[in-house]
Structure 1
Amino acid sequence: MSSYLLQSRADSTVTKYKNSYNQFQRYCQENDFISMPAESICVAMYLTHLLDTGKSDNVVTAALYGIKWRHNLNDCNDPTESKLVKTLHDTAKRIASKPVNKKDIVSSEMLQTLCKIFAESSDVVDVRDLGMIMLGYSGFLRFNEISNLHCNDIEFKTDHLVLKIRKSKTDIYRQGKEVLISKGSSVACPYSLLKRYMLISGLENNTEDFLFKPAFRSKGKASLIKKNKKLSYTRAKECIVKKLRVVAPDLKLGTHTLRASGATAAANTPGVNDRCLKRHGRWKTDQAKDGYVDDSLEKRLFITKSLNL
């Protein structure tokens, strides 16, 4: 039963909760407190200790949810439901929060320029990186969605391709999602780039191989490794940012730039259906979607232009 209970959350979430609770447990041992079941005053003192030592609101929040999770697993009274604990959590959000440092947006024109620069390249690393960039941009994909793509998750139709997203942050019950990307006519077309990448790399469309794998160079030629291993986050970010800096040297860039840039470009295009936009990005709420969209200058100015002043 315990193994099933642990599967109620993602593995990464369970690891985070475990680590947070273990730190709380050590604090209790050092101060002769009981950690299970804990009293609400004990939890409140621990949160106060975190604030006193300069921890961010994210650390305080992780501690609170780790303690809540462990008590719920053991069917104990939840000490985090105390008004005292909740008030301290609110305090942490007010005084220990750090401003969100969002990445800058890249335009479709920038990406087309980038793809033109490497249009004649047959280097598998160059084409792999462009494939990741254009899939992330056109599919509004998070990095983990890109990295977990397998070759047989790609289905090429006559005028579009279908991506099967096996695992997603918003798909907590692992039901899977499909993302449709139309076939374009420019050098930056994701459909054509992906076809080109699979041809150069020798990847087969019907295999379980990861789509984007690490590469090595031998005698000046790049090849993908034979082992079925996905590209790490650190290496993928390095490759993506390096390519984007060719056309956007002064912008703050990261892997999330692709999802935000694609969503912004689509949202600022007249005629794009808001419901379809939200479905394409796999957002459950308008609030989640709006966090990714940067309204264009024209849209922002339209508000005061409508006043006819």
Structure 2
Amino acid sequence: MSESHALAPVERTPTQRDTHLSEDAWALILEATPATTRRAYRDDWNRFTRWCATQQRTPLPATAETLAQYATSLAMAEKAPATIGRAMAAIAKAHEAAGAGPLDRRGVKDVLRGYRKRYAKAGRSVKRAPALTLTALRAMIATLDPDTLTGVRDRAVIVLGFAMGARRSELAALDLTDLEPHAEGIQVTVRLSKTDKDGAGRIVAVPYGSNLATCPVRAVEQWRTALAHHGRESGPLFVRIDRHGRLGHVATGKGDPDGRITGEAVAAIIRRVAIAAGLDAAQAFSGHSLRRGFATAAYAAPDADLVRIARHGGWKEGSAALFGYLEEVDRWRKNPAAGIGL
């Protein structure tokens, strides 16, 4: 072969090749993943590559043995099983983006199976946000001042989120243009959600409520009127309010420039109002409490329709999470030990 056709040597070390993900690859990950998840995934991937560097293992592509050993290291650090599962999901997403092929997780599954048993024997359990009942919802709304911007916004966040069975990320992502008036209430377009991988979107019909204080349609209209009064007729539906009462104000270098609240802010609002209402386990309430509360309240209704409940809240068909919520209702309503003569 002539010298002019000789292949030039690659000067990148194996470690650099194994751990590097291009900005284009990360951009694809970010586009396909909700904001809160994408930050967690990137942090998980960075932790994994640092661990591999200390253990002299190859992170990309990672072998089944490397994955199992990493899962074991997290278990020995007493991380929750869900945290370990998310770390594996982040590693899998990085491999997918880099075109490195699927992961062999057989060893990880065995490690997690054994760790879950040890976790349960130690008296630990998976922390779940408590479902928000209608009684608790009314108590929370009663603490809000309807004459303040914060009170009006927080009421709209809570009752709309409950009525939609929405994820906190879905609430935070709503724009004013996603709401369309209807004779029966409002139609809300959810453009992106956790289970909507292709971005097809869904329309959620939110009817008028029978209770003025907790009617989601009236709560949202009051908030939209407040926004319009401050010159906001487009952009995000829910925005930050600073201690001076300014809407969407952004400190230098912090937050989205449009003032949109985050999913974490939704959870903080719910927890803060739950504490103000003096609810039991108020510190444990989160954005997911709205979603669980909707599912259990809707299922407890006399004309409950599982298919409609799932479609309304954007659950996948046969969702284990949804059935878990509904079991909480059936545990007593359809208890097989009741009525057998004990």
TM-score, normalisation: structure 2: 0.74
Q: Deviations over 1:97-137 (max 9, x none)?
A: 7512223333324434554565x832111011001110011
- Please state if 1:10 is matched with 2:36: no
Superposition pairs for residues 119-138 of structure 1, below 5 Å?
A: 121-138=146-163
* 1:42 CA displacement: 3.7
* 1:156 CA displacement: 1.2
* 1:43 CA displacement: 3.6
Give the letter aligned to residue 24 of structure 1.
F
What is the CA–CA distance in structure 1 between the aligned matches of 2:223 and 2:127, rounded to whole Å? 33
Residue number in structure 2 paired with 1:242:
272
* 1:201 CA displacement: 3.0
Residue number in structure 1 paired with 2:299:
267
Residue number in structure 1 paired with 2:333:
299
Q: Give the 3-state SS of the residue equivalent to 2:125 in structure 1.
A: coil
Cα gap change, 1:260/1:15 in structure 2, threshold over 3 Å: closer, same or farther?
Answer: closer
Cα gap change, 1:24/1:109 in structure 2, threshold over 3 Å: closer, same or farther?
Answer: closer
What is the CA–CA distance in structure 2 between the aligned matches of 1:205 and 1:266, rounded to whole Å? 37
Residue number in structure 2 paired with 1:33:
57
The question of whether the paired residues in 2 share the 8 Å contact of 1:201 and 1:223 is answered with: no
What is the CA–CA distance in structure 2 between the aligned matches of 1:34 and 1:169, rounded to whole Å? 31
Residue number in structure 2 paired with 1:232:
262
Task: Count matched residues.
Answer: 302
Q: Aligned Cα RMSD in Å?
A: 3.3
- Please state if 1:89 is matched with 2:89: no
Task: Give the % identical residues.
Answer: 22
**Match for residue 192 of structure 1 among 209, 218, 227:** 218
* 1:84 CA displacement: 3.8
The question of whether the paired residues in 2 share the 8 Å contact of 1:68 and 1:80 is answered with: no
Cα gap change, 1:50/1:131 in structure 2, threshold over 3 Å: closer, same or farther?
Answer: closer
**Match for residue 251 of structure 1 among 267, 272, 281:** 281
Q: Give the 3-state SS of the residue equivalent to 2:242 in structure 1.
A: strand
- Please state if 1:157 is matched with 2:182: yes
**Match for residue 104 of structure 2 among 67, 75, 80:** 80
**Match for residue 23 of structure 1 among 21, 33, 47:** 47
Residue number in structure 2 paired with 1:287:
320
* 1:203 CA displacement: 6.2
Gapped regions of structure 1 (runs ≥ 5): none
Q: Give the 3-state SS of the residue equivalent to 1:243 in structure 2.
A: helix
What is the CA–CA distance in structure 2 between the aligned matches of 1:297 and 1:44, rounded to whole Å? 37
- Please state if 1:277 is matched with 2:300: no
Q: Deviations over 1:116-163 (max 9, x none)?
A: 565x83211101100111001111111111111111111111221111
Q: Give the 3-state SS of the residue equivalent to 1:155 in structure 2.
A: strand
What is the CA–CA distance in structure 1 between the aligned matches of 2:147 and 2:49, rounded to whole Å? 55
Residue number in structure 2 paired with 1:51:
75
Residue number in structure 1 paired with 2:14:
none
Cα gap change, 1:223/1:295 in structure 2, threshold over 3 Å: closer, same or farther?
Answer: same
Superposition pairs for residues 103-142 of structure 1, below 5 Å?
A: 103-112=129-138, 114-115=140-141, 121-142=146-167
Q: Deviations over 1:272-298 (max 9, x none)?
A: 212111111111124221233331775
What is the CA–CA distance in structure 2 between the aligned matches of 1:196 and 1:307, rounded to whole Å? 52
Cα gap change, 1:299/1:25 in structure 2, threshold over 3 Å: closer, same or farther?
Answer: same
What is the CA–CA distance in structure 1 between the aligned matches of 2:278 and 2:334, rounded to whole Å? 24
Residue number in structure 2 paired with 1:211:
237
Cα gap change, 1:163/1:203 in structure 2, threshold over 3 Å: closer, same or farther?
Answer: farther
Residue number in structure 1 paired with 2:201:
176
Gapped regions of structure 2 (runs ≥ 5): 1-21, 250-256
Cα gap change, 1:206/1:278 in structure 2, threshold over 3 Å: closer, same or farther?
Answer: farther
Q: Give the 3-state SS of the residue equivalent to 2:325 in structure 1.
A: coil
What is the CA–CA distance in structure 1 between the aligned matches of 2:233 and 2:53, rounded to whole Å? 52
The question of whether the paired residues in 2 share the 8 Å contact of 1:124 and 1:223 is answered with: no
Q: Give the 3-state SS of the residue equivalent to 2:337 in structure 1.
A: helix
TM-score, normalisation: structure 1: 0.81
The question of whether the paired residues in 2 share the 8 Å contact of 1:183 and 1:191 is answered with: yes
What is the CA–CA distance in structure 2 between the aligned matches of 1:129 and 1:47, rounded to whole Å? 40
The question of whether the paired residues in 1 share the 8 Å contact of 2:159 and 2:216 is answered with: yes
Give the letter aligned to residue 248 of structure 2.
I
The question of whether the paired residues in 2 share the 8 Å contact of 1:166 and 1:174 is answered with: yes
Give the letter aligned to residue 289 of structure 1.
L
Cα gap change, 1:73/1:109 in structure 2, threshold over 3 Å: closer, same or farther?
Answer: closer
Residue number in structure 2 paired with 1:201:
227
